[in-house]
Amino acid sequence: MSGNTFGTLYCVTSFGESHGPAYGGVVDGCPPGLALSAEDLQKELDRRKPGTSRHVTQRREADRVEILSGVYEGRTTGTPIGFLVRNEDQRSKDYSAIADKFRPGHADYTYWRKYGVRDPRGGGRASARETLVRVAAGAIAKKWLAERYGVSVRGYLAELGTIRIPFQSYDVVDANPFFAPSLDIVPRLEAFMDELREAGDSVGARVDVVATGVPAGWGEPVYGRLDADLAAAMMSINAVKGVEIGAGFAAVAQRGSEHGDEMTPEGFLGNNNGGVLGGISTGQDIRVSIALKPTSSIRIARRTIDVRGEPVTVQTTGRHDPCVGIRATPIAEAMLACVLMDHALRHRAQCADVAPPVGRKT
């Protein structure tokens, strides 16, 4: 399996660099008959689009997506869905100052070490702009999951630096530029971001994503577990350094009598397991939390080396998100949706003939 494809049956292949001609993707394995238009993808892409507030990169991209195949008369045909987003606002000049040296915490060093060559413009392949492929693929998965299984996939910003964001409602998540599930906290987040921008620094974030309506039974133990595939999908998002399912690291300090979610005929009494037991969905909400590191491109001068190995300092003056986590919510939702759809298909392949257990109430 190639490094730029993920999924076993719902397969997403991605290509593109930040300052090349375009990004694009191929979604293979989508069932036929799903109503689909470019607008379905565009809606999700617009959620992650740069330039929507002063708190994210000011790069101006229309990010218009074009569907190139796999849809006929408004419905998927079962053949691969190719799509394309042209790059527009490329301003390569912004990056000339850093073409020869490595930003601490940035992938430009490792790409150079791996491939012996790299496209230095805007992060090249390592740019967070690649995530628009994920978002487009996730839009298809979200739609299918909702229509076929009634599954909804949502997320929100849970922490911004040291600020914990209380959960009030999913309804307000799209009504503020942070994807915060609370409007009350927004002024505080804005003040924090303004101060950060002033300081020329960046900060990390935590994003939570939740899938509701997932039936019990999705996931393939013992290596193709639902949670293992989720962990890979989330960790593959730029800047992610940690993934939790359910209680996550809080489980370390829990006792078994506290952690194990009791069951009643009406359902589970808790969700420490995040909707996954033994790698298989329980029928509860799937809960995933991710940690995003602070952006490495900052205005503060830092020690580094250049391509000759000489000590230099570097500071980045281009248009960068001071917190990549702010725009990560639609991306994490997309990855969750893609993994769920993959496992929905895998599950029915093997277990389509399994009769629902007799007498089951939950």
**Please, which of residues 252-311 interact with its own copies by CB under 8 A?**
252-265, 269, 272-274, 276-283, 291-298, 300, 302-305, 307-311
CA atoms of 274 and 272, how far apart (whole Å): 5
DSSP element (H, E) containing 196: helix 186-199
Question: Which residues are bridge partners to 281 per DSSP?
Answer: 276
Q: Is 188 in the site for its own copies (CB under 8 A)?
A: no
Tokens matching residue 79: 């053949």
Subset of residues 9 to 68 that bind its own copies, contact rule: CB under 8 A: 9, 11-17, 20-24, 26, 28-33, 66-68
Tokens matching residue 23: 């990004």
- Which position among 106, 129, 143, 154 is part of the footprint of its own copies (CB under 8 A)? 106
173 vs 148, 158, 178, CA distance in Å? 25, 11, 8
317 vs 95, 96, 290, CA distance in Å? 9, 11, 28
Least separation in angstroms between residue 355's CB and its own copies is 6
With respect to its own copies, which residue has the nearer C-beta, 182 or 289? Answer: 289
Tokens matching residue 286: 């799937």
Subset of residues 168 to 187 that bind its own copies, contact rule: CB under 8 A: none
Subset of residues 227 to 246 that bind its own copies, contact rule: CB under 8 A: 227-236, 238, 240-246
Least separation in angstroms between residue 184's CB and its own copies is 21
With respect to its own copies, which residue has the nearer C-beta, 93 or 361? Answer: 361
| Neighbouring residues of 166: CB distance < 8 A, sequence distance ≥ 6 | 181, 182, 184, 185
Q: Is 191 in the site for its own copies (CB under 8 A)?
A: no
Q: Is 130 in the site for its own copies (CB under 8 A)?
A: yes
CA atoms of 213 and 150, how far apart (whole Å): 6
Q: Is 192 in the site for its own copies (CB under 8 A)?
A: no
Site size toward its own copies (CB under 8 A) is: 171
